Amino acid sequence: QSMNDIDTASGRRKKDAQRDAVFLFVDSVMQNVVEMKRAGTLKHAMPVRICVATFGKQNEIVLPLTEQWGPAEQVKLYRTLDDCADQGTPDHLALQMLQEEMQKSPSKEDPKMHRAVLMFADGGSDNAGLVREELERIRSNGTVAGGFGITASGRAMEAVYAPDGTTIESIEQLPDI
């Protein structure tokens, strides 16, 4: 139940900080592509797809690999994030699910396609060894993989996802990160 604890730095529940961080991160990525397309700054089509998996209370793919980011996807993600924080940090399961989703992608062999897997959690992984094994598999395919620890209690993500682990102590840091 650590997600219901109050973060002393912000005075907010950690689950709310995590929900907001993940939602704002996904939204900013997808809105950036929309703005670039609208402004005509893209010389070629740049498909950006997202796939979101949750772990803990629910271990599932919330948004299968998609280019869509409209109200339906936004509401589904926000509601799921609002209700998913609980029951530990089995992030190795999410990494496995995301790998399976990437294997289904029609562009999985496209050398121009760049991939990134980013995890958000408020603490250490339930099984850091399994996470590192999954990260090795993911990274061996050229996929960037990193982890974000939400609030100071998430600092363990730095070690588990090294060298690409970062702590976001406050949601106000997101624009800089």
Residue pLDDT, tens place only, 13-46: 878 888 888 899 899 888 887 787 788 776 666 5
Cα separation values, 77 from 42, 58, 70, 81, 89, Å? 27, 13, 11, 6, 19
Q: Do residues 146 and 114 lie in contact, with contact meaning Cβ atoms separated by under 8 Å?
A: no
Q: Residue 87: what pLDDT?
A: 64
Q: 161 versus 57: which is more confidently predicted?
A: 161
- Reported pTM: 0.83
Give the model's confidence band at 85: pLDDT under 50 very low, under 70 low, under 90 confident, else very high.
Answer: low
